[in-house]
Amino acid sequence: MTDLFGDAAGIVLSLVILWLLLRLVLWTWRYNRRQMARRRRQAAYAGYINSETWKALRQEALERDGHRCRLCNARRGLEVHHRYYPGVMGTETVDALTTLCHPCHEGITEMLRARR
Ligand SMILES: [Zn+2]
């Protein structure tokens, strides 16, 4: 044990430790990159949700659905849900949207998250 790098076991151990460190550095780098991309997407989405384009589409969906939740028929606390997202936000049509009350929207969102 006086010379860790002097024998074959020591070399293998060193390589394993080096490999693990490299994996850790790569994992951390990828994780940070993903977090940054996620924050950018969230900021872009927040900007879109406040846009006139979204407000007009949202209103169109509410009117099409008779200002009622498509699942439970509630009239209060309505939200407009994206059934799917377009490649570029703001290019979706009203067909991508559906009206839901807050509890139904939360239920659907939870169910979809669990599926991922
Ligand atoms: Zn509902």
Neighbours of ion ligand 1 (CB under 5 A): 69, 71-72, 74, 101, 104
pLDDT at 85: 87
pTM listed for this prediction: 0.68
What is the rounded average pLDDT of the residues 23-31? 98
Same domain, 58 and 113: yes
Same domain, 88 and 57: yes
| pLDDT (tens digit per residue) in 53-111 | 999 999 999 999 999 999 999 999 999 999 998 888 889 999 999 999 999 999 999 99
Can you state the percent helix, strand and coil of the chain, rounding each to 5?
A: 60, 10, 30
- What total of structural domains would you count in the chain? 2
Same domain, 114 and 57: yes
Q: How far is the CA of 3 from the centre of ligand 1 (A)?
A: 70
3-state SS, residue 52: helix
Q: Domain residues for 40?
A: 1-50
pLDDT at 24: 97
Same domain, 64 and 9: no
pLDDT at 66: 98
Q: How far is the CA of 107 from the centre of ligand 1 (A)?
A: 9
| C-alpha to C-alpha distance for 55 and 39, rounded to whole angstroms | 23
Domain boundary among 33, 50, 67: 50
Residue 2 pLDDT greater than 90, yes or no: no
Q: Please provide the size of the chain in residues.
A: 116
Same domain, 42 and 56: no
